[in-house]
Structure 1
Amino acid sequence: MKIKVSSIKHITILFFVLIFFNQCKEASKSEKETPVNVVSDQKKEEKKDTVYNLIVNKPEEIKVPKGMVWIPGGEFVQGAVPQDKMAMEHEKPAHKVAVDGFFMDITEVTNAQFAQFVKETAYITVAEREIDWEEMKKQVPAGTPKPHDSILQPGSLTFKKTKTTVPNLFDFSQWWHWTIGANWRHPNGPKSSIKGLDNNPVVQICYEDAMAYCKWAGRRLPTESEWEYAANGGKSGTIYFWGDNRDVLSKNANSWEGEFPVKNSKEDGFEKRAPVKSYQPNGYGLYDMAGNVWEWTSDWYNVNYYKEQSAGLLQKNPKGATEAYNPQNVYIEEKVIKGGSFLCSDSYCASYRISARMASSTDSSAEHTGFRTVATVDMLK
């Protein structure tokens, strides 16, 4: 059974508010017209048999930054492959894309790396900050009542298994819970810790947090096209980075094995997040491009973006939609996240597939969301 997954809403108590007050289940599609999606500097190019003026090989004078690998530039088809029966409509149609070569983190940013950033900058993540109701209420339907002060406290979303089978997998409030005190230092709640987990991917990171880290590190987030191109690992036309064989999933990715969200058989060796490099890398030497934790990209999520692309025309270094648009969440702006997580299963989202994508509001963080960074030639000159 294929389940279409709507984006997990806010990391903030907004999630809690909307679930408990049922004010925002159905938002009027007429409140926001579908915007034009293609950025001005990415006009569709004439159809080409080869890619011209691409940075393919790493310039000799530039050294590979520590912890990164060079991804050679090239052309690929972005989006669902024909044989993928789990593909969702927002992964279609597939379209031709070319990207310049770039450097990418070999792994997701780890707890140790993020801790160093916080140590040097005294940065406070969104999940750790006091909640401003005056700001929050701008993102919810008019008239939504203010929750009690005991609820309006810093926190984030944590996952909890259900005790019995869940017949409706569209209602993610059955396993996601607002947890006061959950943040990157306490990813599963205030009593949890990252002590001894330096090599685990940092989570409970929202888009703003990832961008702050990038600025400190002299990096940026990948575009969705860059991320998907890199995830292919030099292959083309396959569902997963290792090929089309679902039977070897547990050997290649940290995902949910068993009945979601009741029982995880841990066939892949882990109940929750796995240390980076726990599974084999793809053809470019990148780890965890399938499963473990979702990863932020810089692209706005727009349900119409893929449909407005032409499969016959080549786009060079596309930046995605100019505006966010999701008729299911008209009150919030969302970015594209890629790669799936330890919570992905065949019955739920199967987002360890290369073309899989999901929307997440920019102020959302959760215990299954992290990021990795990229650097381009011009950034390192």
Structure 2
Amino acid sequence: MNKGISFKFFKYVLPVLCLFSDRSFSSSRIIVDEKGEIIGNKNKRKFVWKRHAPFGMVLIPSGTFLMGGGVNQSVIPSIHVTEVKTVGPFYMDETEVTVAQYFAFLDIVKSDPESYGLDIDYINAKLIPDMNSWQRDFGFMFMDDSFGTSYCNDPGFGDRPIVGITFEAAQQFARVRSIYRNKYLVSKGLPPAPDFRLPTAVEWEYAAKGGSSSFQYPWGGPNVRDTKGNLLANFKVTKGNYSASGYTYTSPVKAFPPNGYGLYDMAGNVSEWCQDVYSPIAIYKDRSERSIDISDKTVFRVIKGGSWKDYAYALQTGVCDFENQEVARCYIGFRCVMSAV
């Protein structure tokens, strides 16, 4: 394990795992009225609660939008379902979880597995990124596993999104991140805060639209280039052309402009795990792309956003895709959200 990653954790990642709040409490927050009923202390000067956005996250305000809206209907040979959805406020990571952040998480759980209800065998079997996924998914580009090894160990890749992890590993990252942060809060005499988690497909799409009710892309649309001709995301422009964006595979986070909410890479770079179990009945999908046997026991999860290996169509905010939750891909990563209360 690279010792430099531990330093990066304390310098860059620890603030992400901690919730910065400004709270003060009265020693008598609960009082009993003359009828014996427990009521809250109404003296606002004695009880002040002020919460700031967690470091590295942005507040996504509540609102209503057209889920599935903005997709270019001319490229869809089958039904594309749209539905009006209302979303409550939540915080979302401004970037996809990076290699440096994920390996800081591994350092934490490996140093004290029992504190997080884990053991070394489980960590090695389930949480270590599968860097063979580069060769397995794109053998014509990555003919051996040396690239995967470099992606994990070379500090130059620290600001790239983590890939090669399953849905379960992404969930464990969010769970451990919550435990670690709440331990910190308790040590400061503060109450625990809401847990980090993976976004729902509704939350993800709402955030991707950046404040619009029906943006085709996070930046609007229908164009995928700015006024100077520069691509606005990392994706495959034409068949076989993986480097038109300036990157042959993943790009550093924040390499392209953010959307209206200040979120980076909501289109392209890597697709992102969502909480939802994929259902061809409940979730809209272009049925011509591929089909799944819903009679077997395999669980598929929704992924959103498209990636470096996808065409522009997959980058649209209203497009939905899916993957086996037990499969790690070199083009799927994730980011976390946290309910805002």
Same fold (TM over 0.5): yes
CA offsets per residue over residues 264-320 of structure 1, 9 Å max, x none?
A: 3x221111100000000000000000000010000000001047xxxxxxxxxxxxx
- What does residue 77 of structure 1 align with? 66
Supply the distance in 2 between the matched residues of 1:258 and 1:295 (Cα, whole angstroms).
22
Amino acid at match of 2:321: M
Aligned runs of 1:103-118 on 2, under 5 Å?
103-118=91-106
Amino acid at match of 2:133: L
**Change in CA separation of 1:194 and 1:69 when aligned onto 2, cut-off 3 Å:** same
1:61 to 27, 32, 50: 50
Supply the distance in 1 between the matched residues of 2:231 and 2:208 (Cα, whole angstroms).
17
- What does residue 231 of structure 2 align with? 251
SS of 1:77 mapped into structure 2? strand
CA offsets per residue over residues 176-203 of structure 1, 9 Å max, x none?
A: 68x9996xxx7x4446544121111111
Aligned runs of 1:338-353 on 2, under 5 Å?
338-346=304-312, 350-353=313-316
Q: Return 201-210 or 284-293, whichever deviates more.
A: 201-210
CA RMSD of aligned residues (A): 3.1
Q: Does 1:206 align with 2:166?
A: yes
Q: Does 1:157 align with 2:133?
A: yes
SS of 1:292 mapped into structure 2? coil
**Change in CA separation of 1:94 and 1:298 when aligned onto 2, cut-off 3 Å:** same
Aligned runs of 1:71-220 on 2, under 5 Å?
71-81=60-70, 83-87=72-76, 89=78, 92-122=80-110, 129=125, 156-158=132-134, 175=138, 188-190=147-149, 193-195=152-154, 196-218=156-178, 219-220=196-197
**Change in CA separation of 1:287 and 1:328 when aligned onto 2, cut-off 3 Å:** same
CA offsets per residue over residues 347-378 of structure 1, 9 Å max, x none?
A: xxx21110111111111111111100000124
**Change in CA separation of 1:156 and 1:335 when aligned onto 2, cut-off 3 Å:** farther
**Contact between 2:71 and 2:216, CA under 8 Å: does it hold in 1?**
no
Q: CA deviation at 1:158?
A: 2.1
SS of 2:207 mapped into structure 1? helix
- What does residue 238 of structure 1 align with? 215
SS of 1:109 mapped into structure 2? coil
**Contact between 2:131 and 2:330, CA under 8 Å: does it hold in 1?**
no
Q: Return 337-346 or 238-247, whichever deviates more.
A: 238-247
- What does residue 10 of structure 1 align with? none
**Change in CA separation of 1:176 and 1:94 when aligned onto 2, cut-off 3 Å:** farther
**Change in CA separation of 1:67 and 1:366 when aligned onto 2, cut-off 3 Å:** same
**Contact between 1:125 and 1:205, CA under 8 Å: does it hold in 2?**
no
**Contact between 1:302 and 1:326, CA under 8 Å: does it hold in 2?**
no
- The structure richer in helix per residue is 2
Amino acid at match of 2:308: F
Q: CA deviation at 1:229?
A: 0.1
Q: TM-score, normalised by structure 1?
A: 0.60
Q: CA deviation at 1:86?
A: 3.1
- What does residue 360 of structure 1 align with? 323
Gaps of 5+ in 1: 1-58, 131-153, 161-172, 308-324
SS of 1:248 mapped into structure 2? coil
SS of 1:85 mapped into structure 2? helix
Supply the distance in 1 between the matched residues of 2:99 and 2:71 (Cα, whole angstroms).
38
Q: Does 1:225 align with 2:202?
A: yes
CA offsets per residue over residues 152-196 of structure 1, 9 Å max, x none?
A: xx7642258xxxxxxxxxxxx7x468x9996xxx7x444654412
Aligned runs of 1:248-287 on 2, under 5 Å?
248=225, 251-260=231-240, 263-264=241-242, 266-287=243-264
Supply the distance in 1 between the matched residues of 2:75 and 2:271 (Cα, whole angstroms).
18
Amino acid at match of 2:83: H
Supply the distance in 2 between the matched residues of 1:297 and 1:180 (Cα, whole angstroms).
30
**Contact between 2:234 and 2:251, CA under 8 Å: does it hold in 1?**
yes
Higher relative contact order (CA 8 A, sep 6+): 1
Amino acid at match of 2:171: M
Q: Return 61-70 or 230-239, whichever deviates more.
A: 230-239
Supply the distance in 2 between the matched residues of 1:89 and 1:73 (Cα, whole angstroms).
31
SS of 1:70 mapped into structure 2? strand
**Contact between 1:180 and 1:189, CA under 8 Å: does it hold in 2?**
no
Supply the distance in 1 between the matched residues of 2:208 and 2:77 (Cα, whole angstroms).
18
Supply the distance in 2 between the matched residues of 1:337 and 1:94 (Cα, whole angstroms).
17
